[in-house]
Structure 1
């Protein structure tokens, strides 16, 4: 019986932590930092592949916030 209880608790714990897997890390960036990073990206003429990916992520987060009425990047 104890094995079933421990197993149930472990499954519940893993299930609750798995919810964070689908969250967007960009959502955690404060508005001022996002604006700064977004502006930096607009001034780069030939970004590296990694920087271009990061800039795309910032742009997407700016668009997501704009859709919610937060014009932090514009």
Structure 2
């Protein structure tokens, strides 16, 4: 309960700081945050070609996937297509 209260106070404080910033400062903060988030990459892009190929194989032969599992498999296929567009033929 204490953690919840502290997080609400923290969000309120950040909201107040956000409201006090002028337009240029807000734009700069958003740009810096965007660059930081884009620079992090994600788990799928960090998979080796062999690991991605294995994940695709598991997805292709999986039966009774949940909605979340189906979405993960779609993400693996999307990453395969992205790598193919880079000239890296990874998946069948």
Instruction: Structure 1: give runs of 5+ residues left out of the alignment.
Output: 1-10
RMSD value over aligned CA atoms?
2.3
Larger radius of gyration: 2
User: What is the CA deviation profile of residues 40-69 of structure 1, one whole-angstrom value per residue up to 9, with x for unaligned ones?
Assistant: 000013211111010010000000001111
Alignment of 1:1-74 (within 5 A): 15=32, 18-22=34-38, 24-25=41-42, 26-74=44-92
Instruction: Structure 2: give runs of 5+ residues left out of the alignment.
Output: 1-27
Aligned residues: 63
TM-score for both structures, normalised by structure 2: 0.57
What secondary structure is seen at the aligned counterpart in 1 of 2:53?
helix
Worse-superposed segment, 45-54 or 33-42: 45-54
